[in-house]
């Protein structure tokens, strides 16, 4: 399932990022310190993602398995919009 994060995703999101392994390639950030990532911090992140989408600047969505496990994120950035009058 691909969709924007919601406040209710905190636990599965946190678990997925907490279980990251050390970097496996130059394109892999590897381990992330999750200490600052409180529920309040996460809720602010969700709100920032919503604001970016509302402004048509960036669309950030999460990828989940059918069982609800968080697999990762996808960012789509709006570079230009054609005038559609």
With a threshold of 0.75, does the pTM exceed it? yes
Contact present, 59 and 76 (Cβ < 8 Å) = yes
The DSSP secondary structure of 51-80, one letter per residue, reads HHHHTTSEEEEEEE-TT--EEEEEEEE---
Task: For residue range 17-54, list pLDDT tens digits in order.
Answer: 999 889 999 888 888 899 999 999 999 999 999 999 99
Q: The dihedral of CA 63, 57, 76, 83: what is its sign?
A: positive
Of 2-16, 18-32, 61-75, the poorest mean pLDDT is in: 18-32
Residue with tokens 């996808």: 74
Q: Residue 85's pLDDT is what?
A: 59
* CB proximity list for 83: less than 8 A, separation 6 or greater: none
């Amino acid at each position: 399932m691909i969709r924007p994060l919601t406040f209710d995703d905190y636990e599965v999101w946190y678990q997925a990022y907490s279980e990251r392994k050390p970097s496996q390639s130059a394109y892999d950030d590897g381990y992330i310190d999750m200490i600052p990532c409180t529920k309040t911090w996460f809720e602010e992140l969700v709100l920032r993602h919503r604001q970016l989408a509302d402004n048509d600047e960036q669309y950030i969505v999460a990828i989940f398995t059918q069982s609800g496990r968080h697999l990762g994120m996808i960012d789509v950035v709006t570079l230009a919009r054609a005038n559609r009058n």
